[in-house]
Structure 1
């Protein structure tokens, strides 16, 4: 009798377990269907923000670094310095050349004053020679003076006229040299200002407020023009960067609501709206964009970038304060389908 009763009980327990498993499977299937019907889900998402790359504009070894990863910086703060000894020497040389030009200009102005005085003397001599010539001319016509005396007076008058012309030409030359000297000084001023501006490039300045997210060099490194030295995370505006499969893109619209969770805060649910939809798939701007010209082609689902705002956060069903968020945190997003 005992063996018969045991065999009767065993099938009934197996049936109960089978029913329980079926019920659980149905519940899981229902939840999946409910979630699929209401949400577009993806875990290819993370927090993102604006980042600024700070690069060098000149070449030189880094000699000092004032900011490190995690430091908060303000716009205009000096982050690092490059060796500027060569450009300082160029600046000193340019200043010395300018001083020499100023001294030469003063000399040219003195030469101009001398040329003006020489012209005055030449004009006096010319007028005196002209008077003597006119007088001897009249006397020669009456044979009161010899031909030799008259000829000397005429030659003196002509030579003094030439000296007047030469004095005028010298004044023109002096004025041209002064104008050239003033232009050279203006050019030297521009060169000095340009060198001073270049000297400023040897100081690496923070272009915006933020936090040093990454430093890419150390003191002693030889820096090249255009080389990124720091990456600053502004941290003012954070959003969720989502890369959604193209097969789920059909019903996506701007302003569509979304819920998401962060791996860092599993008990919190964040809400936001789609405020950006990319016009290209993410692969279009990858380092190695797809090229199917060779014929070796494997079709994969492309992903379209979206941006979702971070509007509020709830713990359960009640709103709570916004926790500390950091760019790069992983997120799981559920975009609410529009009915």
Structure 2
């Protein structure tokens, strides 16, 4: 009778047992890990994007950067042709000289009128003295006529001379009043000229400031994104020309399911694994959790009152700080996808 080989008899059982043991071990390990961690692969690396916007319209004279160049804050990256603006400034400065001349003329008119008033007042004072003398002479001659000391003709001549001087004095008073009435008009003209001068000075300063806008400087340090401007192109004020990607700071925004959020806490530690570099594990820490789901802040948020409702698990954005940023900055790029595992023990 043939004897059975015990190895052949028990080997399949042993193999099956080992497979089941390994499976149970791996399953238990995964279960334990799932109990202590919350994972998601819906995450991206984020950073700040600074748009480059011109503050004046015109033709582009020169572009000093290329796509993906590294720039420093304040570096000249673009120049706009400013010849027309410079000619406009020259014209404004010529208008300013004309306005200054108008102010000087207005001041000269006021000064001339003041001297005329002083001269008329001096003449009026002399006429007043002559009138008073003539009045006294007329009164004395009238008394002499009554005593027949002088002829009536002499008395009439004295009276007539007094009346003429009185009329001249009254005319002088009227002339002075008329001359003084012109003073407010001339002062108003002076104020108007000074206001016009001030406006032209402000416009010149505005034009000088506008000329500084012909040179566009980098608003932030970083790396140029794709630019959409070339030399010779006409651009408008406020038109996006390019974007600077700040490469000094990065963070991660992970979108966890709403069923996972209850286990996440501020300060929770996280492991970050980039899809582009799966062999490098980064360390992170939760610094904030959004107060709304991603769908609510989208361009077209869902309206569950429309009648046809299908329940969809929502995602909540969680911001994660990269703790070892300095050591891994060389591999970080905005928009890279990654897997996030948060320790919730």
**Does TM, normalized by the shorter one, top 0.5?**
yes
Q: Shift in Å at residue 251 of structure 1?
A: 0.5
Tell me the equivalent position of 2:342: 335
Q: 1:111 to 1:201 in 2, by over 3 A?
A: same
- 1:173 paired to 2:185: yes
Q: 1:289 to 1:81 in 2, by over 3 A?
A: farther
Q: 1:299 to 1:200 in 2, by over 3 A?
A: farther
Deviates more, 1:194-203 or 1:284-293: 194-203
Give the Cα–Cα distance (whole angstroms) in 2 for the partners of residues 290 and 202 of structure 1: 45
- 1:234 paired to 2:232: no
Q: Shift in Å at residue 232 of structure 1?
A: 1.5
Tell me the equivalent position of 1:301: 313
Deviates more, 1:83-92 or 1:71-80: 83-92
Tell me the equivalent position of 1:247: 259
Give the Cα–Cα distance (whole angstroms) in 2 for the partners of residues 221 and 231 of structure 1: 18
The two structures have a TM-score, normalised by structure 1, of 0.84
Q: Shift in Å at residue 19 of structure 1?
A: 5.7
Give the length in aligned residue pairs.
Answer: 329
Give the Cα–Cα distance (whole angstroms) in 1 for the partners of residues 328 and 73 of structure 2: 26
Tell me the equivalent position of 2:148: none
Question: 1:19-58 counterparts in 2 under 5 A?
Answer: 22=20, 25-58=23-56
Contact 1:255–1:274 (Cα < 8 Å) also in 2: yes
Give the Cα–Cα distance (whole angstroms) in 2 for the partners of residues 60 and 12 of structure 1: 88
Contact 1:82–1:203 (Cα < 8 Å) also in 2: yes
- 1:275 paired to 2:287: yes
Contact 1:74–1:208 (Cα < 8 Å) also in 2: yes
- 1:186 paired to 2:195: no
Q: Shift in Å at residue 126 of structure 1?
A: 1.0
Give the Cα–Cα distance (whole angstroms) in 2 for the partners of residues 58 and 321 of structure 1: 41
The two structures have a TM-score, normalised by structure 2, of 0.82
**RMSD across aligned positions (CA):** 3.1
Deviates more, 1:248-257 or 1:83-92: 83-92
Tell me the equivalent position of 2:136: 138
| Residues 138-176 of structure 1: per-residue CA shift (max 9 Å, x gap) | 233322625543332122111222222233333443333
Structure 1: segments with no counterpart, 5+ residues:
314-319
Give the Cα–Cα distance (whole angstroms) in 2 for the partners of residues 90 and 291 of structure 1: 55
Q: 1:299 to 1:221 in 2, by over 3 A?
A: farther
Deviates more, 1:247-256 or 1:292-301: 292-301
